[in-house]
């Protein structure tokens, strides 16, 4: 089964590479300041594979230290269940059509037990497989992304019945940061790592369900 998925990966349209060609070169681990190498390595491996993303962000050590450092700390001290977080991140990334982020977060969401048909239909009103709380989180992620500063009051109140203040802050922060990463990855054409694509296929997702790659200019 794994060999078949790898064969599918190898047969991807050769133009995909051209469409996704990164605009900024990767910073290699030996170019990273000593005090940031462990953080760089975490996003390349344990917290990844976000190797191509962190290798571009590393051009600016303050961004690596504070932006990626923030994500690492939030991961280490997470207040939100993984399934709730990944529903929000997949919803935002699908809405923003970020191929890189959907490819990375869809398998993580699948790991929580949601089937591929739910993940690919995450933005549909009647999306199958989501419970009432998960639908509220999905809807909140969409509203924060499309109606910045004006999410529906009833929706927010319903979420507050389920999440405490610290959890609401973390959820809102991660939703807002997700849009930042969507824009950053797309603007600089961060390429999806091969092992991330293998993980996507292994989760039962189809690469054709990803947002379309931008064309090279």
Mean pLDDT, residues 103-115 taken together: 96
Alpha carbon distance 58, 170 (integer Å): 24
Which pLDDT band holds residue 89 (cuts at 50, 70, 90)? very high
Per-residue pLDDT tens for 124-167? Answer: 998 999 999 999 999 999 999 998 667 789 999 999 999 999 99
Q: What is the pTM of this model?
A: 0.87
Could you tell me the residue ranges of all domains in the chain? Answer: 2-78, 82-185
How many Å is the Cα radius of gyration of the chain? 17
Q: What CATH code would you report for 82-185?
A: 1.20.1290.10
Which pLDDT band holds residue 104 (cuts at 50, 70, 90)? very high
Mean pLDDT, all residues of the chain: 89
């Amino acid at each position: 089964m794994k060999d078949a998925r790898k064969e599918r990966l190898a047969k991807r349209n050769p133009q995909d590479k051209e469409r996704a060609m990164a605009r900024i070169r990767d910073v290699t681990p030996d170019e990273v300041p000593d005090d940031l190498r462990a953080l760089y390595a975490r996003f390349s491996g344990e917290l990844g594979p976000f190797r191509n993303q962190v290798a571009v962000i590393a051009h600016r050590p303050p961004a690596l230290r504070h932006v990626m450092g923030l994500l690492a700390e939030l991961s280490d001290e997470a207040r939100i269940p993984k399934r709730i977080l990944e529903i929000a991140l997949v919803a935002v990334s699908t809405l923003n059509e970020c191929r890189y982020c959907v490819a990375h977060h869809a398998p993580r969401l699948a790991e929580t037990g949601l089937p591929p048909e739910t993940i690919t239909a995450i933005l549909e009103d009647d999306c199958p497989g989501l419970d009432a709380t998960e639908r509220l989180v999905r809807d909140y992620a969409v509203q924060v992304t499309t109606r910045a500063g004006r999410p529906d009051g009833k929706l927010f109140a319903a979420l507050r019945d389920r999440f405490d203040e610290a959890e609401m802050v973390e959820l809102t922060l991660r939703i807002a940061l997700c849009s930042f990463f969507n824009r950053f990855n797309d603007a600089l054409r961060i390429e999806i790592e091969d092992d991330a694509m293998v993980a996507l296929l292994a989760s039962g997702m189809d690469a054709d369900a990803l947002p379309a790659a931008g064309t090279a200019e």
